[in-house]
Chains A and B, each alone.
Chain A
């Protein structure tokens, strides 16, 4: 029976400099997965390659040999020794890993939705290349179902994850669409620019205001905005919808009085102020003004924290879903595992009965006519089915339990199912009928 093995590296196990050596462009994915599927001992293959992970999955009868092949295949592609950066999972571990990857539990930002789409693309490429079958192929499809269940039943996809996303969420709660809204960045802090860029991605227009005009100009050019000197601040605030402050000033850059005057000029239009600076740049009393919404770094981090807290509960729920699904998957696999034993047992009984019947029909029972011979065959069939019913049910039932393999092993030993049958030249595979009865 085939075992699934995964060998790969991700954002935790390897630096980006190494991961980028294994990067697989979308147009090369088909060829790469074909190459992977052609590895010795690999019956099935799948290659998941994103900016945060490169993972080679394969299924085959010898997991040790398969793992070695996957490691050397990855090293060949990278053109470097990767041993210390690679992780490896087999069987149940590989299934759990794939479930977690698809459910976005293994992502940098837990709950992000892109990874599922990326694995689906990998699945489509492998399907196209014909490297998926009933083992790994079914596991991947099951992983998609697990991911869907996780997203539906837990809050993993909800909540805030960064200051920038909080800023965007808040701005949308105040202004709705952000298209052509004016965002002013006062100072040159990275977090402030990050928040502004988040708003910019939603169509907002960026203006940068700095004590050093040259610095403002440089940032504006880098981020596609306009540059202004700090002396224009009052006018800029009047014209802006969102102001993000992060200067190194030790006094308030915007006082309550200045903002009150600005609000008069703005004729009551809402103003969203994000003060990321420490010490603060905006007088906290300004938050009491009508239509002024002031958030400082503590407020933002509290919201981010709440999002992460909520997410940690959701993450625990998601892990529980993965564990439950993994148990179900294992039970199904074990039930599938009993099938070859049942089929071989039926085949052994049938072959023995057939051999005895033929011996009798050419000996003492040679006087029987065709009708009697058919009746005798039918009687033997019925007797065999009745005798095998209880062992078949026991094998199926036990295979779903923790000791699943024990009874199958005992059965194979008791009836010497792995040896060639008496009088046979070799161990013939079970007939399709025997296999059908075993699975039915």
Chain B
């Protein structure tokens, strides 16, 4: 890997850490200094720019797209999550502070991407695999945003129910905004995940050389997560399940998705 990419990677990881720390300081109310309030979102933006530079450098050096393998996909996932948080923060008040919940995840994803750095096995390559990885990555990024908003929702709702209008209540976005952004994120993530699962079935079929198809536990959990996200959407439309129930469903679904991801990371033969 070139020096430029290495440097951009290191700076991005460092800045994500700094952004996470500053946003956490802001969210916890430990500091209301102007440099903390402005520093968090700015560090996040700068980190995303470095991350983007790293992705571009990698792409040109290795001629491998951002979804060529699990390593690249993890890095792209981290970048997509941050870009989504930044984009939402531009239109909805105070949502950037929710970045405090995703910053640690982003740093972990970025570091994990270096561990699983490499190409997909040649026999699994092809457009269908790239489509599978890309869809699952986009879906997981959307669910990551939904997860962060849902956690913030539960925290904020607790403040309102317990009648505590202190600092956390003032710093978090309104319940309506958190619920709306979480719902829209799930609405974006679910079709992407659906496409990813379908493509994954094709990839699995291609990889299966002989005998009966082998179904792994990750696939069961992935289907469970998909079902939970689908239920969150369906019940909202059909039965008005929103707010706390939707937030809990989203968090559970996301934990399932993370479990699947960790399972694949621990598997040695994943592309």
B246 — nearest CB in chain A belongs to which residue? Answer: A268
Contact call B160/A268, Cβ cutoff below 8 A: no
Q: How far is the CA of A176 from the CA of B153 in the complex (A)?
A: 13
B117 at the interface (CB under 8 A from A): no
Q: How far is the CA of A89 from the CA of B239 in the complex (A)?
A: 68
Contact call B243/A291, Cβ cutoff below 8 A: yes
Question: With a CB–CB cut-off of 8 A, which chain A residues contact B175?
Answer: 173-175, 270
Contacting residue for A290 out of B93, B173, B244, CB 8 A = B244
Contact call B165/A166, Cβ cutoff below 8 A: yes
A416 at the interface (CB under 8 A from B): no
Question: With a CB–CB cut-off of 8 A, which chain A residues contact B159?
Answer: 173
Q: How far is the CA of A296 from the CA of B92 in the complex (A)?
A: 30
B176 at the interface (CB under 8 A from A): yes
B218 at the interface (CB under 8 A from A): no
Question: With a CB–CB cut-off of 8 A, which chain B residues contact A306?
Answer: 165
Contact call A175/B176, Cβ cutoff below 8 A: yes
Contact call B176/A174, Cβ cutoff below 8 A: yes
Question: With a CB–CB cut-off of 8 A, which chain B residues contact A299?
Answer: 163
Contact call A303/B174, Cβ cutoff below 8 A: no
- Evaluate whether A160 and B165 lie within 8 angstroms (CB atoms) in the complex, with A170-B160, A267-B240, A268-B243 already known: yes
Q: How far is the CA of A174 from the CA of B160 in the complex (A)?
A: 8
Contact call A176/B165, Cβ cutoff below 8 A: no
Q: How far is the CB of A309 from chain B (nearest CB, A)?
A: 12
Q: How far is the CA of A176 from the CA of B93 in the complex (A)?
A: 9
Contacting residue for B174 out of A173, A290, A291, CB 8 A = A173
Contacting residue for B156 out of A173, A287, A290, A302, CB 8 A = A173
A293 at the interface (CB under 8 A from B): yes
- Evaluate whether A269 and B165 lie within 8 angstroms (CB atoms) in the complex, with A174-B174, A176-B93, A176-B176 already known: no
Question: With a CB–CB cut-off of 8 A, which chain B residues contact A169?
Answer: 165
- Evaluate whether A176 and B174 lie within 8 angstroms (CB atoms) in the complex, with A170-B165, A293-B161, A303-B163 already known: yes
Question: With a CB–CB cut-off of 8 A, which chain A residues contact B42?
Answer: none
- Evaluate whether A172 and B174 lie within 8 angstroms (CB atoms) in the complex, with A166-B165, A303-B163 already known: yes
B side interface size, CB within 8 A? 22
A310 — nearest CB in chain B belongs to which residue? Answer: B166
- Evaluate whether A290 and B165 lie within 8 angstroms (CB atoms) in the complex, with A172-B174, A173-B174, A270-B175 already known: no
A266 at the interface (CB under 8 A from B): yes
Interface residues of B in 224-247 (CB under 8 A from A): 236, 239-245
Q: How far is the CB of A289 from chain B (nearest CB, A)?
A: 11
A295 at the interface (CB under 8 A from B): yes
Contact call A291/B242, Cβ cutoff below 8 A: yes
Q: How far is the CB of B237 from chain A (nearest CB, A)?
A: 9
Question: With a CB–CB cut-off of 8 A, which chain B residues contact A166?
Answer: 165
Kindly supply a per-residue 1/0 record for chain A positions 155-188, scoring 1 wherever the CB is within 8 Å of any chain B CB and 0 otherwise: 0000010000010011011111000000000000
Interface size range on A against B = 20 to 34
B169 at the interface (CB under 8 A from A): yes
Q: How far is the CA of A160 from the CA of B175 in the complex (A)?
A: 20
B177 at the interface (CB under 8 A from A): yes
B245 — nearest CB in chain A belongs to which residue? Answer: A290
B166 — nearest CB in chain A belongs to which residue? Answer: A306
Question: With a CB–CB cut-off of 8 A, which chain B residues contact A302?
Answer: 163
- By secondary structure, the B interface counts as helix
B156 — nearest CB in chain A belongs to which residue? Answer: A173
Contact call B240/A266, Cβ cutoff below 8 A: yes
Q: How far is the CA of A306 from the CA of B165 in the complex (A)?
A: 10
Question: With a CB–CB cut-off of 8 A, which chain A residues contact B236?
Answer: 268
Contact call B241/A268, Cβ cutoff below 8 A: yes
- Evaluate whether A291 and B244 lie within 8 angstroms (CB atoms) in the complex, with A169-B165, A176-B173 already known: yes
A264 at the interface (CB under 8 A from B): yes
Question: With a CB–CB cut-off of 8 A, which chain A residues contact B240?
Answer: 264, 266-269
Q: How far is the CB of B205 from chain A (nearest CB, A)?
A: 41
Contact call A176/B243, Cβ cutoff below 8 A: no
Kindly supply a per-residue 1/0 record for chain A positions 357-382, scoring 1 wherever the CB is within 8 Å of any chain B CB and 0 otherwise: 00000000000000000000000000
Interface residues of A in 179-208 (CB under 8 A from B): none
Q: How far is the CB of A155 from chain B (nearest CB, A)?
A: 10
Question: With a CB–CB cut-off of 8 A, which chain B residues contact A173?
Answer: 156, 159-160, 165, 169-170, 174-175
Question: With a CB–CB cut-off of 8 A, which chain B residues contact A267?
Answer: 239-240, 242
Q: How far is the CB of A302 from chain B (nearest CB, A)?
A: 7
Question: With a CB–CB cut-off of 8 A, which chain B residues contact A176?
Answer: 93, 173-174, 176-177
Kindly supply a per-residue 1/0 record for chain B positions 100-114, scoring 1 wherever the CB is within 8 Å of any chain A CB and 0 otherwise: 000000000000000
Contacting residue for A270 out of B170, B239, B241, B243, CB 8 A = B243
Most buried by B among A175, A266, A267, A303: A267
Question: With a CB–CB cut-off of 8 A, which chain A residues contact B93?
Answer: 176
Q: How far is the CB of B216 from chain A (nearest CB, A)?
A: 36
Contact call B242/A268, Cβ cutoff below 8 A: yes
Q: How far is the CA of A175 from the CA of B92 in the complex (A)?
A: 12
Question: With a CB–CB cut-off of 8 A, which chain A residues contact B156?
Answer: 173
Q: How far is the CB of A203 from chain B (nearest CB, A)?
A: 14
B238 — nearest CB in chain A belongs to which residue? Answer: A267
Q: How far is the CA of A359 from the CA of B163 in the complex (A)?
A: 90
Q: How far is the CB of B32 from chain A (nearest CB, A)?
A: 10
Q: How far is the CB of A163 from chain B (nearest CB, A)?
A: 13
Q: How far is the CA of A166 from the CA of B177 in the complex (A)?
A: 20
Interface residues of B in 168-213 (CB under 8 A from A): 169-170, 173-177
A171 — nearest CB in chain B belongs to which residue? Answer: B174
Q: How far is the CA of A306 from the CA of B167 in the complex (A)?
A: 13
Question: With a CB–CB cut-off of 8 A, which chain A residues contact B242?
Answer: 267-269, 291
Question: With a CB–CB cut-off of 8 A, which chain B residues contact A295?
Answer: 163
Question: With a CB–CB cut-off of 8 A, which chain A residues contact B170?
Answer: 173
Q: How far is the CB of A159 from chain B (nearest CB, A)?
A: 9
Show 21 residue pairs from A and B whose CB-CB distance is below 8 angstroms, ordered by the A residue.
Answer: A160-B165, A169-B165, A170-B160, A173-B160, A173-B175, A174-B175, A176-B93, A176-B173, A266-B240, A267-B239, A267-B242, A268-B241, A268-B242, A268-B245, A269-B240, A269-B242, A270-B176, A293-B161, A302-B163, A303-B163, A306-B165
Pairs A-B, 10 closest by C-beta atoms: A267-B240, A176-B174, A268-B240, A268-B242, A291-B243, A176-B177, A176-B176, A175-B176, A174-B175, A299-B163
Extra 14 A-B pairs, beta carbons < 8 Å, given A160-B165, A174-B175, A174-B176: A166-B165, A173-B170, A175-B176, A176-B176, A266-B240, A267-B240, A268-B236, A268-B245, A270-B243, A290-B243, A291-B242, A293-B160, A299-B163, A303-B165
